[in-house]
Amino acid sequence: MIAAELAKQWRRPRTLGTLGALAGFSFALTIALALSGADQLQRVGDIPLLIVPERAGSSIPVIALASTMKFFLPLAVAIFAGESIAGDAAVGSLRYALARPLSRSRYLLAKLLVALLLSLVAVLLVPLAGLAAGTLAFGSHPLSAIDGSASTALHSAILTFSATDTIARMGVGTAYVAAGMLSIFSFAFLLSTLTAYPFAAVAGGVGLTLVSRVLNSDYLPGVAVLNKWMPNNDVDLWEHFFQRPAQTGGMAHFLLLQLIYAGVCLGAAWWWFARRDILV
C-alpha cells in the first residue's frame, strides 16, 4: 500500500513541480548572488549573521534554508499534506480505495507516511541543492560569518566554521526546520480528511502559516502572549547554531509545540476519518 501510494504521488506533476521549484530556488539564488552580490556581506536571519557567499559555497544552504522556511517550505508541506486525501476524494479514487478490504486506519497511515516522506524530501532538498550549487559556484571553503548579536561598532565577532562543521550544523538545523513543519503539515492533513477540495486543505495550511507570521510579537508587540503558541514563529532559531557557543534557547518549547499540534491534528484526523461517510 505504501509503495503503491509512493509510486502514485511521486509521479504526480504537482509533486515534481513543487520539488523542482524548491531545488530550482537554491540554484536561482546562487546565480542571482553570483551575478550581483556574492562578494558583499549578506544579512541572514534575525541574529543577524553576516556572510560573504563568494568566500564559501557552504553559505548558500544557510541562506537558502533561511529564505524558504517561513513561506515556501510551509507551502510545499501544505501541498503534500493537503492533497493527500482530499486529492483522492476530488478525483473519485478515494471511494474505490476504501471499498476494498482495507481498514481506514491503514489507508490513513499509508497516506500520512508518504506525505511525511515527501515533505521531508522537500525540506532536505533546499540545503542539499544549495550546497551543490554553492560548491559549484564558489568552491568548498571554511565559512566565515559575523555574529551581529555579538558585534559592536568597534569589534566584529567573526566566526569561522570549517566546511565539515558547517555541514554538520546545517544538518542539525535542517532537522530542526523539518520538525518545525510538523504543525503546518498536521493541520493541512486534518483538513484533507475533512474536505474533497484539495485546494482548501492546502490553503488552510498556508493560512495557518500566515496567521502565525501575522501574530508575531516581532511585528505586533501586543500579541506577545500568543507568540509562543504560534506554530511557525520560532522556526528560525536554528540560525543560532551558527553562533559560538551554539544557542538552543526556545528550541525545546518550539519542538514540544510541534508535537502538540501534531498530536491534536493527527488524532482528530484519525478520529474523523475512521467514522466519516464517504459520499464523494
Partner 1 sequence: MAAEPPILIEGLSKRLGRGVLAIDDLSLTVEPGQIVGLAGPNGAGKSVTMKVLLGLVRPSSGRVEIFGEPVRPGASSLARVGALVDGPGFVPHLSGLANLRLAARMPGAALGEQDIERAIAIAGLGSAIERAYRTYSHGMRYRLGLAQALLGEPDLLLLDEPTTGLDPAHIAEIRQVIRLVAERGATVLLSSHQLAEIEHVCTHAAVMREGRLIAWGALAELRGEHDSLEAAYLALVGAGERIAQTPGGAVSATETSATTEHADQSTAVEAGADRDAAA
Residues forming contacts to partner 1 in the complex (CB under 8 A) are 1, 4, 7-8, 11-13, 91-104, 106, 274-275, 277-280
Decide whether 91 or 252 has the Cβ nearer to partner 1: 91
Cell numbers at 60, concatenated:
548558500
- At 88 the three-state DSSP class reads helix
CB of 114 to partner 1, least distance (A): 13
Taking alpha carbons only, the member of 64, 29, 48, 37 closest to residue 170 is 64
Closest approach of partner 1 to the CB of residue 104, in Å = 5
* Contacts of range 11-14, beta carbons closer than 8 Å, 24 or more positions apart: 12/83, 14/79, 14/83
Give the nearer residue to partner 1 in terms of CB position, either 97 or 257. 97
Nearest approach, Cβ of 25 to partner 1 (angstroms)?
Answer: 24
Kindly state the cell numbers that stand for 11: 509521479
Count other C-beta atoms under 10 Å from residue 39's C-beta: 11
Nearer to partner 1, 102 or 168 (CB): 102
Q: Which residues of 142-153 are buried (b: 16+ CB within 10 A; e: fewer)?
A: ebebbbbeeeee
Shortest distance (Å) from residue 11 CB to partner 1: 6
> What's the closest the beta carbon of residue 4 comes to partner 1, in angstroms?
5
Shorter beta-carbon distance to partner 1: residue 10 or 71: 10
Q: Between residues 245 and 277, which has the closer beta carbon with respect to partner 1?
A: 277
